[in-house]
């Protein structure tokens, strides 16, 4: 029990999620339970238009969700392009714990949810999502301005007192995406990566730009080579900028922690913040950015 527990989550909604996760982590020491239950708070948050079934739909008007969960021993599970499931993070955990697979997608993920006793929700958009979708349909331009439009994916990474790490990530993805589009969040190594020997990282922003550089894996590997979490996040953003065209329309941000309890965060442009829970208190921190 030599480690100081630390939990980081993306964006302001990370505060409520961290509170829940911290409570579980300090009471039970169960880090996987902590990162699952933490982001479930966000999945139910009706104000959030980028996580959970109340999130903004794809261009067909359907909400499809992506989520992943990972432990520092390499265990992981994820679901992609899944409909009607209120808690995709819990389904991702079931994939991790109850199947020989890492990832289930679409109808198969939904059937697995049914088999696991998950309730199926009606496919109706939340009133706010419906309103915004109708507005969008008037022009139907697929031009995601992610910084403004849709910047609320939650990624959570945590270090327990026993030195074990875990992370979770859940999203409704890009607003008005093509039907079937999958982002970075359910892709292990892109939206989330955790290794007990090193640390953990998670991502938010334009998923395509993050997948292209294996963003979260890259950060963990840079930390393995001796970089601090902050340096690793900055290098990942530099890489992302160099490998993506149209960078003027891209926002992406990363957060990372290592086993020493150090943390870092960096984004392409201003506006990204994260919640940091340590000891008994937490704060909302503005991340630095490249531009
Ligand atoms: C995605 N990364 O599906 C998600 C969206 C997001 O902040 O993070 N928004 O591309």
Q: Which helix (H) or strand (E) holds 82?
A: strand 76-82
> What span, in angstroms and rounded, lies between the C-alpha atoms of 291 and 287?
12
Q: Is 153 a catalytic residue?
A: yes
- Residue located nearest, by CA, to atom 3 of ligand 1: 173
pLDDT of residue 134: 94
CA pair distance 89, 83, nearest whole angstrom = 13
**Is 170 a pocket residue for ligand 1 (Cβ < 6 Å)?**
no
Atom 7 of ligand 1, nearest CA residue:
151
Element (H, E) at 45: none
Query: Active-site residue among 153, 170, 171, 202?
Result: 153
CA–CA gap between residue 175 and residue 136 (Å, rounded): 10
Q: Supply the angle between the helices 31-43 and 88-98 in degrees, to the nearest 10.
A: 150
* Per-residue pLDDT in tens (0 to 9) along the chain, 291 residues: 689 999 999 999 999 999 999 999 999 999 999 999 999 999 999 888 999 999 999 999 999 999 999 999 999 999 999 999 999 999 999 999 999 999 999 999 999 999 999 999 999 999 999 999 999 888 877 665 554 455 679 999 999 999 999 999 999 999 899 999 999 999 999 999 999 999 999 999 999 999 999 999 999 999 999 999 999 999 999 999 999 998 988 999 999 999 999 999 999 999 999 999 998 899 999 999 999
184 C-beta closer than 6 A to ligand 1 = yes
Q: Can you give the pTM of this predicted structure?
A: 0.96
Using an 8 Å Cβ cutoff, are 147 and 268 in contact?
no
Please report the pLDDT score of residue 147 as a whole number: 47
Closest by CA position to 177, among listed 214, 211, 136: 136
Check if 155 has its Cβ closer than 6 Å to any atom of ligand 1: no
pLDDT of residue 18: 98
Q: H or E element: which one contains 8?
A: strand 6-10
Query: Does residue 84 come out as left (phi exceeding 0), alpha (psi in the -120 to 50 range) or beta?
Result: left
Q: What is the DSSP letter of 47?
A: T
| Residue 145: per-residue pLDDT | 57
| CB 37 near ligand 1, within 6 Å | no
71 Cα to the center of ligand 1, angstroms: 21
| ipTM of this complex prediction, to 2 decimal places | 0.97
State residue 288's pLDDT score.
98
């Amino acid at each position: 029990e030599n480690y100081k527990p630390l939990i980081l989550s993306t964006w302001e909604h990370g505060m409520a999620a961290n509170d829940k996760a911290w409570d579980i982590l300090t009471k039970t020491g169960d880090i996987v339970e902590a990162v699952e239950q933490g982001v479930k708070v966000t999945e139910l948050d009706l104000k959030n238009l980028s996580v959970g079934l109340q999130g903004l739909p794809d261009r067909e008007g359907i909400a499809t969700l992506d989520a992943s969960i990972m432990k520092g021993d390499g265990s992981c599970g994820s679901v992609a392009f899944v409909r009607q499931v209120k808690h995709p993070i819990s389904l991702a955990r079931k994939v991790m714990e109850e199947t020989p697979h890492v990832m289930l997608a679409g109808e198969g993920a939904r059937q697995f949810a049914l088999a696991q006793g998950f309730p199926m929700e009606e496919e109706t958009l939340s009133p706010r999502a419906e309103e915004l979708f109708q507005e969008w349909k008037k022009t139907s331009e697929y031009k995601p301005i992610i910084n403004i439009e849709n910047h609320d994916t939650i990624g959570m990474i945590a270090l327990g007192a026993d030195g074990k790490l875990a992370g979770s990530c859940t999203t409704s993805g890009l607003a008005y995406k093509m039907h079937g589009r999958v982002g970075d969040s359910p892709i292990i190594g892109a939206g989330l990566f955790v290794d007990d020997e090193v640390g953990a990282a998670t991502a938010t922003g334009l998923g395509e730009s993050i997948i292209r550089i294996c963003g979260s894996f890259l950060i963990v590997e840079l930390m393995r080579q001796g970089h601090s979490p902050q340096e690793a996040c900055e290098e990942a953003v530099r890489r992302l900028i160099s490998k993506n065209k149209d960078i003027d329309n891209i926002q992406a941000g990363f957060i990372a922690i290592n086993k020493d309890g150090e943390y870092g965060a960096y984004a392409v442009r201003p506006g990204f913040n994260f919640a940091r829970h340590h000891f008994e208190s937490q704060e909302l921190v503005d991340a630095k950015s490249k531009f």
